[in-house]
Chains A and B, each alone.
Chain A
Amino acid sequence: MSGARIVFDDVSRFYGEVLGVNRVSLSIPEGITSLVGPNGSGKSTLMNLMTGLIRPTQGTVSVLGIPCDRPDKLFREVGYCTQYDSFPSSLTGYEFLHSYLLLHGMTSSEAEKLTWEALERINLTGAAKRRVAGYSKGMRQRVKLAQALAHNPRVLVLDEPLNGLDPMARAETLALFRQLGEEGRHVVVSSHILHEVDRISDQVILLSNGYVVAEGRIQGVRSEVKEHPMQILVRCNRPGELAAKLFGHEQVVEAKLHADGAGLHVRTRDADSFYLLLNQVVLDAGLEVEKVAPADEDVNSVYEYLIGSEGGSQ
């Protein structure tokens, strides 16, 4: 099983006396995994560990069964996009991708083919022959992404890949991540844009001060946070009446009318019982329900519950 996963086994990494990450054990499956945490929480350290750019002080890291101290094998399977804007100033977008494919060991003709495929994938064929130094921030981010995926890796490690992208490019990039995840690849993304990460992630890893605070599917993580009642939004035609009928029941901790007057925010400690109760009340009162959805089952909320104000700024 570990052959198809990224595995951290009791990994710690210290920079002198400063903690990078501590006692991390993870097993990351295929699909899109988001690393979430404030600056200094250990996201980049985890990414650098899984790409072998730094070695763990303790523990072992393997990617698809390959130890991370074997760059010759590892980087056949891994593509890495750092958070830094780092380009040889005089190269064109095409030359930039082509040169790094040659470093991978592709022949010139294979590298050429893969370069054009990658450029097409990130919608940059039109600017291929322009110097990267003249690219906009968004274009530079995209070409950086292209160099990570040009050699067709099974694992993509992307450090803040959405930074600097305009909304259109961001939507396209997220769609690309989704597509890459659906192809059966591992896409590990760190991002500060939580609501977007939330939309695309199959699983999240929440980090704080070098520790993994929670990991798994976001709904699963949310249900583990017992001390914060779940918030559910019910949109219906008579929210005031619904609130009155729900108040007396023990499943309901709090019920609050939505600001637009067309819905009700309910806090509950037992979501399953609440849904049964809601069915009953709706049928009895003859309410027309438009929507019932968890209101805080997202990365942002979970992060705030688990880490508090520290994550609020993210």
Chain B
Amino acid sequence: MAVYKKSYRGYEGPLTRERSRFLIIPRYAFEEMRRSRFFTSFFLATLINPLVCALIIYLHHNFSALEVMGIQPDQIVAIDGAFFGFYLGFQSMLAFFLTAFIGPGLVSPDLANNAIPLYLARPFNRTDYVLGKMSVLLILLSIMTWVPGLLLFSLQSYLEGTAWLGDNLRLAAALFLGSWVWMLVLSLLILAISAWVKWKPIAGGLLFVVFFAGGGFAAAINEILRTKWGHLINLNHIVGSIWIWLFKGSLESSGGAVFFGVQRGEELPVWTAWTGLLVLCAICLRLLGKKIRGVEVAP
């Protein structure tokens, strides 16, 4: 046995906080996305709707501007639950497309290239990895949905006064929670799909299939069994039911009804929608847990 000089010295410098280390993943992911012109253009385009909404709110409170434009105050859309519901519904639709576009590129390349051990051979565990990858989507989708939503809400509160703010605080909560429900569903689903389907276009396409085929199956079950419980496998319906509850709007006009196609008389009790959502999240996490490992355990 050689007699070693023991000249080696390990790293003794400062360390960053363990809990925030997962944010290193989005930092590099955004760098990569920034290089895609399509992504940059699409992402910027998603901010047009919030700008239009801000303009509407502004005009609503600026009679002289309306007068110049020749518009009567009662001709302009009311700023209420339905307004914010529409806003969020439209943004959520864009969020869906963005997720289908960038989501598959987050996990599947790492799995296809056996790169997971590169992450896990650090003081960095599977939860950190999934959180890091999810946060890429959560940050982007937040910028598209609840962040501008709450800014619009603040603008309306500022222009309308504190009485309006007090009466409509539930709307702010609905914007925030409704966005998070949607963002979590989308992020977990696309990560779980792309962990199992390594070909990116197919994984993106499967996100559409899960949403639209689920609706088809649900309709078939409902028709055959003459029930409405088939909607439990329809993700649109589950999220829509929760949104309707959050926005407390009428079925005809709230974002939940319009964008998720929930029909009168077919709405699910809200507790079943929440349960369905939790089951979906659990399934996605289980699917991710099976694939996100340091080493593929198949012999």
Contact = CB atoms under 8 A, between A and B. Distances in A.
Nearest to A202: B2
Nearest to A54: B295
A72 B298 contact: no
Given A71-B122, A99-B24, A183-B4, A53 B117 contact: yes
Contact of B122 (A30, A54, A100): A100
Contacts, number: 142
Given A54-B297, A86-B118, A102-B24, A107 B113 contact: no
Interface stretch (A13-21, A226-234, A280-288): A13-21
B18 A72 contact: yes
Nearest to B4: A184
Nearest to B11: A152
A85 B117 contact: no
Contacts of A72: 18, 123
A270 B113 CA distance: 52
A53 B294 contact: yes
A154 interface: yes
A1 interface: no
A30 B28 CA distance: 36
Interface residues of B, number: 42
A308 interface: no
A110 B9 CA distance: 15
B121 interface: yes
A76 B4 contact: no
Interface in B103-139: 109-110, 113-115, 117-125
Contacts of B125: 71
Contacts of A217: 1
Given A31-B1, A53-B121, A183-B4, A107 B14 contact: yes
Given A16-B299, A84-B114, A90-B32, A105 B6 contact: no
B24 A103 contact: yes
Interface of B: 1-2, 4-11, 13-16, 18, 21, 24, 27-28, 31-32, 35, 109-110, 113-115, 117-125, 293-295, 297-299
Interface of A: 15-16, 18, 20, 29-31, 48, 51-54, 71-80, 82, 84-91, 95, 99-100, 102-107, 110, 114, 147-148, 151-154, 181-185, 202, 217
